[in-house]
Structure 1
Amino acid sequence: MDNNHTGCTIDNIKIKTKGDGSTGDYEYWSGTSMAAPHVSGLAALAWAYKLNLSAAAVKDAVINQGDDDSSLTGRTLTGKRINANGTLNYLKSAKQIIVVDLTAISESVIVDDVEHTVVISVPYGTSLTSVVPTIDHNGASISPASGVAQNFTSSVEYTVTATDASTQAWTVSVTVLANTAKEITAFSLNDLAEDGIIDEAGHTIAINVSYGTNVVDLVPTITITGNSVSPASGIAQDFTNPVTYTVTAENDSTQAYAVTVTVGENPFAVAKVKFRDGSGSSKTTSKTKISLDFSGIGNSTEFIISKSADFSGASWRAIKDSTKVTIKKKSGKQKFYIKFRNADGIESQVFTKTLQYKVSKRVLKVSKKRVSKGDILVESGKNFSKNSEVVLYFSKPGGGYYAPKTVTTSKKGAFSISYRVNNPPGAYNWYAIDKKTGKTTKKLKYTIK
């Protein structure tokens, strides 16, 4: 065959007669069974004319150089009839880049036959300093050659030379796509021990905090792979209800995460506190040292008690088998506030207990209310200031008082004196003054016969 195909051109042949093949003459047949060998034959003709063509280049030449045929519109992909002469003429001067493949890393390739440009997108993180392109074209040659590494950090110009020696310059540009990563990889709250559990499939984050944690003002620390997160890391949030965080990637795509904070169960839910003064009563006492009984307090190691709701001035104390607290010696109801703290540093809710304090009256006593001269008389008192002094006053039968007598009380606030009666007969009375408090007792009467 003459590759210059200067012979005659035959167009629109119509065969008027049909045969059944028995005569060996030409026959008329239609359908894809007839179209396929004609198209295949033209493809073979194109390859015979230009051996370096790829399948894509042959397909491009056959399809683009076909003739429009209205009878084929809607019946075939192109609505065209093949044109062998047009295809070969096209290939003679063709210098198109069909496609450029960057060693299987191309995300997309856009070939512009008008501007003679090729724009290629590659994944984020791809290095462009030494990329090997595979270039499919329909010319006779291309320079730089296909398969030779190039630095695509800037555009590279390729020149395609056609069979007829005409040339066409092409500009190939490679763009690295923006990072699509938009994950939350770590999530923590304040200095709390537990980090969030991230479910990447469900895009949820669950984080548990100890009982007593105030969730209305927690500051999260967030690590992401994206460009930004909103609300931002380090900004206090109210986690009473789930909070949505949205991560934005460098390519502006987004991913939302729902963060849920769960407060642990109250370890002091069944805790109980009661006073015990040894008399069996937990609501009234006349003692200044009283025991505290605890139950249901788990692994608590400390407690704090105060008469102030804000516990001002109070200190944490170790819990012992027998824990005693000091009660003010003041008549009336006294309200106490109590909290516990366990080994994990978790504090309980505030317990309130009310105790009725009864101040013991100072009591004077004589061993006999009627005595004779020469008898031994014992005079005693209790409920005075401990380890202190009491001043005793004794009346005279005819009026007035003898010189006062001072006695020392015991560690329980009691005293006792005894003497042989040598006073004249008559009615007597005596009383005492607590030297520490200044309180005076009632007068106690007795008679000497």
Structure 2
Amino acid sequence: MKKYLHAFLFILPSLVYLSSCSSELPELKVPQSSQKQLLSFKFLDFNPVADGDIDTSTRKVKVRVPVGTKVTALIPTLTVSSQATSFPQSLVAQNFTKPVTYMVTAADCTKRAFEVTVEVALTTDPEITGIETISAKTTDSFFIYGKNLTRTGAITKFFLTSKLTGKTYDLSNVSLTTTQAKVQIPHDVPVGLYSITVDVNGRQVKYRTLDLKITGIGTQIIIDRMTVLAYIRGQDLIITGNNIKATKVQIRFQPQLGSTTQLKDAVLNAEGTEIKYKIETTFPAPYRWTLTVLLDGVSYALPDLVTITAK
């Protein structure tokens, strides 16, 4: 028995050595995991925790840290796939003044690189501090509360991101101030759990405290953004939506410069999903217009500028 034990102890170091990722060694015929995902990347020293957004398709990670943070020696906590390893390792301080590449190696020795970028927040950055509800239906409206949600000359966008698929959906701005926004959920958002993000001129901040749960299909009127923003006299201008109901439908054209406001009757289809106006050959052109849909006198403003030319 001792003879066999000594023999096993003699060959054990060799087996361990052969299991390394060196390409110069013969392969062991033992199935190994190929999983090499970066599952989470966080800085736990902040309150709230600075949690990284991991894009698995581009393998890029973005982490926002508070105003004034020095990023020359931040200590991240990261998790990777079971049996995988990372370099640099978790809990090792790094200088994040430039993007840092983390290499995740699977048990089968295959590798995947993730680029981590740390962004220091500005005092003017938007911030979401709360939401009116955590459960809603499509076409429902609700309030988002925060700081710096808009400023002069800025373009503010809110959007939902599916926690399951990663797909994003724009939230329509119904009303907006620096501290609160009333938004409407699109009619085509599937049931599920979503995170909320605000983007003010490219500075994006995700709300991390609560998620929004879409529970079903709502019945509120919704007017979509327009997909075509340039028209010629004589063409059909089409505005799509959902649950649109009205006896009288009109479109108000407000000129950006140089002309007078135009109020035109429009036609609603039977399904309540499309408003159509045939642009008259005498319509003032060329001008750019902001549009407002009037449904029995109730206004629904569209966010985009539309250009109408003579030909």
Do the two structures share a fold, i.e. TM-score over 0.5? no
Answer 1 or 2: which has greater strand percent. Answer: 2
Task: Compare CA radii of gyration and give the structure with the larger one.
Answer: 1
Higher relative contact order structure (alpha carbons within 8 Å, sequence separation ≥ 6) = 2
Answer 1 or 2: which has greater helix percent. Answer: 1
- TM-score normalized by the length of structure 2: 0.29
- TM-score normalized by the length of structure 1: 0.20
